[in-house]
Structure 1
């Protein structure tokens, strides 16, 4: 279900800009996990893989690792976000993202 939501969002973004088209879209969905990659003609990319953790228990969850990137239309600067999403929440990292200071 989550994969379908991600694809629907990416398709909505692509269709919102008629001059942008999907140039690559691959996916592999299995009962215990998934992988996908989507690239558009404007250079935007999103890839992720998810794996079911603690299957058939009260602590069943999905652990996802992925990245997405895009190029700013005004500056031409490329931005990339690498992320992990699991039982500890969504944790993005990117050179353009602020980092919390380390506690003393």
Structure 2
């Protein structure tokens, strides 16, 4: 369920950038794991993968990045598991 929330957030980013062209869009969805990657020509990139552990516990890892209006790259890496969503944010000049 948590990966659905993260995917929805990334989908909102894409919709907000309707003029961007898709450079890369790959995905694979299986009952016990999934993977997707998305890259746009406006410096937005996202990648996520998840594995079902046990009966109903998803372990999801991923990252996304975008370019701010000031020209800085913001990169968020994260892990979502039974204990919650754990992001780490880096800003690079």
TM-score class normalised by the smaller sequence:
0.7 to 0.9
2:13 maps to 1:13: yes
Alpha-carbon distance change, 95 to 6 in structure 1, aligned in 2, over 3 angstroms? closer
Q: Secondary structure at the match of 2:43?
A: coil
Query: Over residues 74-102 of structure 1, what are the superposed CA-to-partner deviations in whole Å (9 max), with x where a residue is unaligned?
Result: x1000101100010100001235xxxxxx
2:83 alignment partner in structure 1: 88
Q: How many pairs does the alignment contain?
A: 89
Consecutive unaligned residues of structure 1, counting only runs of 5 or more, are: 97-104
So what's the TM-score if we normalise by structure 1? 0.73
Q: How far apart are 1:40 and its partner, in Å? A: 0.9
Structure with bigger strand share is 2
RCO comparison, higher one (Cα < 8 Å, 6+): 2
Q: How far apart are 1:9 and its partner, in Å? A: 5.1
Output the aligned Cα RMSD. Answer: 2.2
Partners of 1:31 and 1:87 lie apart in 2 by 18
So what's the TM-score if we normalise by structure 2? 0.81
Greater gyration radius:
1
